[in-house]
Amino acid sequence: MASPMEQKAGDMLLNLCRKKFGADYKDRFKEEEKSSAILAHLVAPFNPDYMRYNTTRNYNQIFWGAGRKLQVLAREWWTFKTRAHEGQHMVDWSWLKWIYGLPHLLFLALLIPFFIYGKLWALACFGMLVAGLGLGYLWPRKKAWFFTWTALGMGACIGIGVWKVPWSMLWLGAGALCASPLLNWIGAAAGRAIGEIRGYTVSMACNYWRYGSVQQSTIDWIVKQFVGGSYYFMLPWKSIITKVLNRQIKKIEDGRILKNPWAAEVHSIMRDTGIAPERY
């Protein structure tokens, strides 16, 4: 149950977000969203707890994990920290989003000649893959079914491609597929890791401002998110993540974090509502 201070701070942060991010800033709940159910199925092999434990963001909308609605509406402390975390992402990606998307565009550019030359046969290849994914979703949501139908779709892609698309174009397509992991890591994984570090820095700062410290258990939990399936093995090096987080904690302790405008606004709300004693 949220205390009156927590409720007030939660309301102030929500109003700040609505003012800062515009009318499209909304809270959504995964159990009420069909798109979340589809995503949960697709990412199940890597992140089976997507629906329950992961709070995600799409532009200026927050998708809260299933079962979190009462906590969000009650303005509990966990909700405040999470909203502050997601707010940092919204501030960052409001001007970085085109950079984040660049590697994906490069990957698509590599495939353009494949589509132009192969024409309808190339479209048929990808259409069969999509059909396989779709059938995997319609049948019982078990990993075995998902992989079976996906494999059938991929097999159809390869079969039609070898039969109807010139070998030169197949080599181009293979090159694009081989290049995509590196492009996606540079743009999506590494870029997202930087953004998540900034988001979790604000989360840790909220704990420090309220309690005067960041617990080792909190650091360990954050490290687990980076190296595990929650972020699809985004940056799987525990020692590196731990060092970066400890460096960010130093910035929190000596007050340098307040040079970040968003963090300063969150700190101001916590101080004005009495949740955070004056530390700087």
Tens of pLDDT, residues 104-119: 555 555 556 555 655 5
Mean pLDDT of the chain: 75
Instruction: Give residue 249's pLDDT.
Output: 95
Boundaries of domain holding 217? 4-272
Q: Answer for the pair 238, 223: CB distance below 8 angstroms, yes or no.
A: yes
Q: Is the pLDDT of residue 44 over 70?
A: no
- Of 9 and 190, the structure prediction assigns the larger pLDDT to 9
pTM for the full predicted model: 0.71
Question: Does the residue 246 lie in any domain?
Answer: yes
* Dist. CA 230–CA 227, nearest whole Å: 8
Tally of structural domains, the chain: 1
Question: Does the residue 278 lie in any domain?
Answer: no
Question: Does the residue 279 lie in any domain?
Answer: no
Question: Does the residue 280 lie in any domain?
Answer: no
Question: Does the residue 50 lie in any domain?
Answer: yes
Written as one string, the DSSP assignment of the chain is: ---HHHHHHHHHHHHHHHHHH-TT-EEEEGGG-HHHHHHHHHTTTT-TTHHHH--EEETTEEEEPTT-HHHHHTT-HHHHHHHHHHHHHHHHHHHHHHHHHHHHHHHHHHHHHHHHHHTHHHHHHHHHHHHHHHHHHHS---HHHHHHHHHHHHHHHHHHHHHHS-HHHHHHHHHHHHHHHHHHIIIIIHHHHHHHHHHHHHHHHHHHHHHSS--HHHHHHHHHHHHSGGGTSSS--HHHHHHHHHHHHHHHHTTGGGGSHHHHHHHHHHHHTTSS----
Task: For residue 251, give every residue at least 6 positions away whose Cβ sits within 8 Å of its Cβ, in sequence order, or none.
Answer: 201, 257
Question: Does the residue 244 lie in any domain?
Answer: yes
Question: Does the residue 277 lie in any domain?
Answer: no
Tens of pLDDT, residues 230-274: 666 666 678 888 999 999 999 999 999 999 999 999 999 999 998
Question: Does the residue 120 lie in any domain?
Answer: yes
Instruction: Give residue 140's pLDDT.
Output: 46
Tokens of 215: 């617990």
